[in-house]
Amino acid sequence: DTGVSQDPRHKITKRGQNVTFRCDPISEHNRLYWYRQTLGQGPEFLTYFQNEAQLEKSRLLSDRFSAERPKGSFSTLEIQRTEQGDSAMYLCASSPQAGANVLTFGAGSRLTVL
Amino acid sequence: SQKIEQNSEALNIQEGKTATLTCNYTNYSPAYLQWYRQDPGRGPVFLLLIRENEKEKRKERLKVTFDTTLKQSLFHITASQPADSATYLCALDSDGGATNKLIFGTGTLLAVQP
């Protein structure tokens, strides 16, 4: 297992278009997280899954954002009708269910909205 | 309001010296606190975790302290090297272990000069 994979690494889109990011977590990890990070800031929590259940969503996650983890394995994060303010690095992380919550992050998907 | 604050300025030190980074938090009662390293364009990488009942934790050249009375953690890198140059993020569980999400500080950029 090579860790957490994210795809694509970079996405440039025009305002108003929809984009989707994929995350493949470490296979034995039950928990999967999405964070957003802008320049000079720390990662901001967006949402997390335990297996296929989405257990918490941040108020940062507007109606234009939706995340799924259909079979408790990979996850997708979709942004509809993108806005320039959505430009950021979208980070996925996973962790095992037991014990303290140490996150293993992917390399991130950088979104630029023109 | 809840806040996690790290050194707002970048930290510049000479190779061989000890780097000390601070993390202060307000209106949280974390069960544990973590430190991550982030290189440009990459996801954060876990370094150390310290629990609320631990005063100090060490790993090779790294040392973390945790003072729940002061609501502060200090992160030390001894015998610093240019390869230690990166952004360091502190993170804590947001509600004493009741939830499973980590909240991150804004990070401190460390530059070690040869």
The pLDDT assigned to B15 comes to: 97
Contact flag B100-A40 (C-beta cutoff 8 Å): no
Residue range A34-74, pLDDT digits in tens: 999 999 899 999 999 999 999 889 988 889 999 999 988 99
As a whole-number percent, the residues of chain B with pLDDT over 70 amount to 96
Measure the CA–CA gap between A110 and B40, rounded to whole angstroms.
12
- A104 lies within 8 A of chain B by CB: yes
Q: Which of A70, A67, A72 is nearest to A109 (CA)?
A: A67
Banded pLDDT at A21 (limits 50, 70, 90) = very high
Cα dist from B15 to A20, B2, B79, whole Å: 43, 35, 7
Written as six digits, the tokens of A87 are 């430009």
Is A99 part of the contact surface with chain B (CB cutoff 8 Å)?
no
Determine whether the interchain pair B106/A48 forms a contact, defined as Cβ–Cβ distance below 8 Å: no
The yes-or-no verdict on residue A10 having pLDDT over 70 is yes
User: Is B28 an interface residue toward A (CB < 8 Å)?
Assistant: no
In chain B, residues with a C-beta closer than 8 Å to the C-beta of A38 are none
- Counting residues of chain A whose pLDDT is more than 90, the rounded percentage is 82
SS3 B88: strand
Dump pLDDT digits (tens) for B9-50. Answer: 899 999 999 999 999 999 888 889 999 999 999 999 999 999
Q: Retrieve residue A40's tokens.
A: 């000079």
Nearest to B100 among A48, A107, A108 (CB): A48
A42 and B41 in contact by Cβ < 8 A?
A: no
The string of pLDDT tens digits covering residues B69-106 is 999 999 999 999 999 999 999 999 876 666 678 999 99
Q: Say whether B34 and A102 touch across the interface (CB within 8 A).
A: yes
pLDDT tens digit string along B48-65?
A: 999 999 999 999 999 999
Contact B100 A107 (CB under 8 A): no
Q: Answer whether A101 touches B (CB < 8 Å).
A: yes
Among candidate residues B11, B10, B56, the one with its CA nearest the CA of residue B33: B56
How distant is the Cα of A81 from the closest Cα of chain B, in angstroms? 25
The Cα A79–Cα A62 span in angstroms is 9
